[in-house]
A and B are shown apart, each in its own frame.
Chain A
Amino acid sequence: MMPAAMLFGGSMHDFEIAQSGGHEGRAVWFRRGARAAFSIPGLILVSAFVGFAGLARDAGLTLAETVFMTGVVWALPGKVVLVGAILAGNGLPAAAFAVALSSVRLAPMVVALTPEMRTARTPTWVLYALSHFVAVTSWVLAMDRFRHVPRPMRTSFYAGLGSTLVLGNMVVVAAVFLIAGRLPPAVSAALFFLTPMYFLTSLWGSARERAGQVAMILGLALGPVFHLLTPDFDLVAAGMVAGLAAFGIHLIGKRRHQA
């Protein structure tokens, strides 16, 4: 019988790793997951956190608050929205609502990832705990690497990957926070520009359908408009109006396609 990994185009090496998984301990796979964090997507994520640290410091947050936020929220869009709401002087309900709206996409991502890690013997609490690590970068890396990881070891692999990314970026945020005050203005400006540049590109690439790209363009245009019109509620208003409009265009296009 031909090994499945070879049938699906994987190398013999991958197959051997997958086969030997049963004999290797969880610690080995945890370390392999941790090592997977040191990659191009991981490096790009670090640059985005360098920008985030500058943004949070500028918004008046303390080092401890920023590191705390990095650990408990983790997903960068949610954190950038939270800092945006703090900057705009939004109240707690408005800020929570804006962050929640920006983070809904985490639910379908977890829905997609969980079945890949689950076996009949996986305790439910492990899946809940690991879901905290879900954000764009760890999700993309995991979905890419899981086929080289034996199924029973995938929770250990993801624990290594996720915890390394979270703890590593908490350290990055703290380090940037400490040196940011001593940088020349031009370097600080470049630092703050990292966050918008990261999202301008990664948001476009992560869109699953054309509607997502339409939503991005409308959101870019309406954000500043609503900032002037309704400064207290600008993010939610721009997100709802632009998102619904993009969805409407998506439905019209689909109907026309079917007719």
Chain B
Amino acid sequence: MTLWKATVRHYIKHPWQILLSTVGITLGVAVVVAIDLTNSSARKAFDLSTGALTGKATHQIIGASNGVPEELYFELRKNEGVSSIAPVLEGYAKFQGKNAKPEEGAVFQVVGIEPFAEREFRRHLDNTVKRLDIARFLGEPGAMIMARSAAARLGIKLNEPVNFLISGTETTFTLVGLIDDDDELDALALASMLFVDIATAQEVLEAYGVLSRIDIILPDDSAGKRLLQELKVSLPSNVDIVSSNARNYALSQMTKAFETNLTALSLLALIVGMFLIYNTMTFAVVLRRQIIGSLRALGVTRGEIFKMIFAESIFIGIWSTWLGIFFGILLADGLLSLVTRTINDLYFVLNIHSLDISFLSLVKGTLIGVVATALTGFIPAYEATKSTPRASLARSALEAKYREAFLWSKYIGGGLMLIGALVLIIPHNFLWLSFAGLFCVIGGFTLYVPQLTLILVNMAVPVHNKILGTLGNISARSVSSSLSRTSVAVASLTVAIATTIGVAVMIDSFRGSVVAWLDNTLRAELFVTTPGVNSSRAKGNLSPVWVERFRAMPEIRAVSTVRNVQLQAPKGITELHVLKVPDNMFSMFDLKQGEYAQASQGFFEEDGLLVSEPYAYKYEIDVGEMLVLPTDKGLRSFKVVGVYVDYGSDQGIVTINRDTYERYWDDRTITSLGLHMQPSVNVNHFFDKLTAAVRDYQAKPLSGEKEQDLIIKSNLAIKEASIRVFDRTFVVTEVLRLLAIFVAFVGIVSALMSIQFERRAEIALFRVLGLTPQEVWLVVTGETGLIGAIAGILAIPLGLILALVLIFVINRRSFGWSMDITLDPMLFVQSLLLAITAAMIAGMIPAFRMSKSNPVNALREE
């Protein structure tokens, strides 16, 4: 009981200590919880919305390239065994709010349904749509229904026309019914969907005669299995029947690597947070050396002391973990929009408006927080017990012990780094293990920090001496004299700065590689597409008329065509790029595998495929192997003739020559065109001419039909847009990195405060000996500046190691991308400056306090 009283007294006397310990764990836990909540919210929203879309369909009939011809639906209706069957046509529409700027509009999934066939499929529609004016739903083109909460959020009222952008065309919908989604889960599931009649869907999406898929419910018995077999055999070769679960699973896997990376970054923040709690707990012990020594002298056992200190840290851990969870939820709210945007940019349409606070995430956060405090609290508690009653009063004894510990910390550090390196070098497919390896390397490195600090201090002494004279000597030496404290501060700052460097180098290298790839790939001067919903979403189809028109223009040397198709290949969902480029432009592929001439010949003449690096990595395909794709003539295998660099999709891309494609698929659509200019043509002038020509065509439409809207972009504009998406993707990473720095900063403040607190007597002595407050300032900031400099210097090699691991291991194992390293020397200068500045600012508070304190008081205490 006395022990507890002593503890409580202590913290009442030093409230800021609780604050600092709390801040460390709170921040660490907050970041981890925030990322976990964000990820789980996104995943849940995804699961729910795919669930709502899939409904009770056990299987889906999907097309090879161009969707499913609607006639198949009518054919299947005649099959007596198939009792539950419904057509679905899906597309995307971007909400054009009254004030919203076009790029800010939420993207919705337009789901075209056949209400009469539908009722067995979608619970939401069956049970929650009350008072639907079915006559209007079917009878009015553009009639739609959506969830009540979604309508309320967008401010859409019943019977009010609202504009959406579909393939660049403004399309007016009228809300004729509301789906009740009082249940939060329903609201989440339906948040990004609007339902229209299948006729409306075909009209607004301009997908006449086509369905996205046919939903089907097969009974889970032998009859159902028989029917499935029968359908598999009897369905035309250009469609396939797949289980809904398998398809949804494949979709959900798309974001997995992205989520893992975010989680790993959040753990990094926690590690920095752990340094912090170690720091403050140690400090708590330091401050009470006298009390602990006295207690020991009075007969309190080591076990009791350990229990006291350990319980203290656990208590602080639990309390700060709770706080951390609270802040984590706040933070997650902010992160959610960033993460959602990236998911929308790169993967699929998902509107998440509210955080889903899952109990599991909170339990995870609590566990992580408490375990982290227990781990870090263990060391100071042990430290407190290890000293003899008398010696624990002496600061020097502690330092001496600490230096002894270097010896074995070297070996542990070396071992850790070795294990980490092995885990990173040996190829495997466990992303988590790779991150564990990375953490081993970081941890190992930090164990070397005390030694490296000593070395660097010794190197710095002459410099300090020169600049500040004797005072400089004092401030430099004080770093090494209280090494047990300073090295932790240095280590945490090092890790934080190294993270900054590593992530920045990775992003820079990534960006550089993407730019180089874009430069190499975007060979045409101008690109023509129809307006799509956003950068990665399905574009409209380009009328082939345009190809002929462009070919006829004298300025245009060649026209290349692109068609993007999503196939449900046996290996998984496969993005197929159908490319027609002039033969001499094969060098647009930067081959990572495969011999250039052979690949070119194979691609153009032998039905060969090129696969992008992520695809090859994900599905473990090498050059020379066969890849099976569902063609309109059934499954066919194609030879892979090359693996090329592509950063366009982390899911991987398979590229096929258009001539090959047209032999196996009946699809003749074009998604976009590349216009290659004659060398003498001024592209800017031609751009204007082309735009005018297109406008002319649109003013005088052929055959009375409305001419398509075209988007013409220079390769420069496309490059800029791509880079913009790229940068946006890394905003979350950037935020996490800043948080890590912030945690480190708080760590530095607390470490330095504890150091300076311990040195109160020393400083007081200086003051008595005649040092002015200004000179005290110099000593203290000189010391903290040195700590910052050392951390900054040590962070450079660690940051580089981190960058290498991120680039060559993590990115590769997450996405299959390889990239060239781009190093910007300014980055290192910046990091160094950042470290020094952070440390100097952190030193301000203790410096200020010490220069203002009355030396007599401090001396009297001693």
Are A and B a genuine interacting pair, yes or no? no
Residues of B within 8 A of A (CB): none
Residues of A within 8 A of B (CB): none
